[in-house]
Structure formats: C-alpha cells, structure tokens
C-alpha cells in the first residue's frame, strides 16, 4: 500500500490519514524517536501522511518502516527514486532499530509479484531470503535428470538482487538492523 507524504507550510502538525488503526497511529511517535536517535528532527511544518487507498483499514505495526522512509524521502534525507523499487516491512524501535513483524512471507510474495525488492529487519532476513528463493524458483523450471535437479543459471541468486534492504550494502547483508543503516548505505 502506498504511503505518500506531503510537507507544506502552515501550522506545524503531523497528520496521518487513510483509516489507520491504533498501532498504525502510534507509528508517528516511534518514527519521531527513531529519527531523534539518528540525529534528525521533523521539520516544523505541516506533514501529511496518506495511507492509500483511503477506504481500506490499515492495521499493524509493519507500517512503521514505510511511514518513516516516506517521511525521510519527503525531507530529502533518502532518495525517493530508490524507494519506488522496494516494499518496506518492519516496526521501528525507539532507538531506530527494526523489530521483526509477522507477514514476511506475504510481503515477499507481494514484492515479487510487482517485481520489487523488500526492505526489512535483519532478524527476518533468513526467512525473507528463503521465501524469495522459493518464489524465484517457482517462476523457473528446473532441468531434471536421473541424477540431479539443476536450476537455470541465475535462478538461485535472483532473490539477492530483488530482495535487498541496502542496494549498495558494503557488508553484503541483504537486510538492515536499523533505519540509520539504510540511510547510510544510500548516501555513501
């Protein structure tokens, strides 16, 4: 679900619209704390966060990361164009680290269906990588002989390119421990 952020003049406020439940409404406070841990602050302006579509109830703490990254992109703290290639999935801790959330398998399948990558907590990287591999392999046909099964070249590593939390990760890890790691990898 798209998260769109508009920062405009007017009385400073943070507004979250699009039928968020209580857990989603609380994302703004977790985001503020995580940004403070990164040494950033929200601008003293009117910040409107729209969770589309407006008529569908948004539930769960997995919206924390997409909301925070959309706000950072609106502030030009992370590149907007990069975010369009990913689905974000994770809960923010107050120190900016990412907590695991349920639903990694559906997130991977949804991202794969739209040919997008997935940004998520490092602690769920194994599960997401496994799910991505299964998804990538389900889209290809193996060559079967009496002795073995071999997959077409590149099928086994396709998930590494598409399901990566840091496009230019210096340590090669596909997922991140904290939102600051993502900002660092995009800006270096």
pLDDT of 108 over the 50 cut: yes
Give whichever of 6-10, 35-39, 88-92, 162-166 has the largest mean pLDDT.
Answer: 6-10
Total count of domains within the chain: 1
Q: Which domain holds residue 110?
A: 3-187
CATH number of the domain residue 177 falls in? 3.30.230.10
Cα gap 76→129, rounded to integer Å: 29
Global pTM value: 0.77
Q: Does the pLDDT value for residue 75 go beyond 80?
A: yes
Q: What is the pLDDT of residues 112-121, one digit of tens each?
A: 888 888 888 8
Closest CA to 89 of 182, 15, 154: 182
Out of 39-53, 81-95, 105-119, 156-170, pick the least confident.
Answer: 156-170
3-class secondary structure per residue, the chain: CCEEEEEECCCCEEEEECCECHHHHCHHHHHHHHHHHCCCCCCCCEEEEEECCCCCCECCHHHHHHHHHHHHHHCCCCCHHHHCCEEECCEECCCCEEECCCCHHHHHHHHHHCCCEEECEHHHHHHHHHHHHHHHHHCCCCEECCCCEECCCCCCCHHHHHCCCCCCCCCCCCCECEHHHHHHHHHC
Lowest mean pLDDT among 58-62, 118-122, 131-135: 131-135
pLDDT of 148: 39
- Label residue 124 by pLDDT band (50, 70, 90): confident
């Amino acid at each position: 679900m798209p998260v769109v952020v508009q920062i405009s003049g007017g009385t400073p406020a943070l507004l979250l619209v699009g039928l968020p439940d209580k857990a989603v409404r609380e994302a703004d406070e977790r985001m503020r704390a995580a940004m403070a841990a990164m040494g950033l602050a929200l601008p003293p302006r009117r910040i409107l966060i729209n969770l589309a579509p407006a008529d569908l109830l948004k539930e769960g703490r997995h919206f924390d990361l997409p909301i925070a990254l959309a706000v950072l992109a609106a502030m030009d703290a992370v590149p907007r164009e990069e975010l369009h290639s990913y689905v974000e999935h994770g809960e923010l801790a107050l120190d900016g680290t990412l907590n695991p959330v349920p639903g990694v398998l559906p997130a991977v399948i949804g991202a794969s269906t739209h040919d997008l990558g997935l940004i998520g907590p490092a602690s769920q990287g194994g599960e997401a990588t496994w799910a991505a591999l299964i998804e990538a392999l389900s889209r290809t046909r193996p060559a079967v002989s009496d002795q073995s099964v071999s997959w077409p070249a590149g099928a086994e590593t396709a998930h590494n390119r598409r399901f990566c939390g840091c496009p230019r990760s210096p340590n090669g890890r596909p997922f991140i421990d904290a939102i600051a790691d993502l900002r660092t990898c995009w800006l270096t």
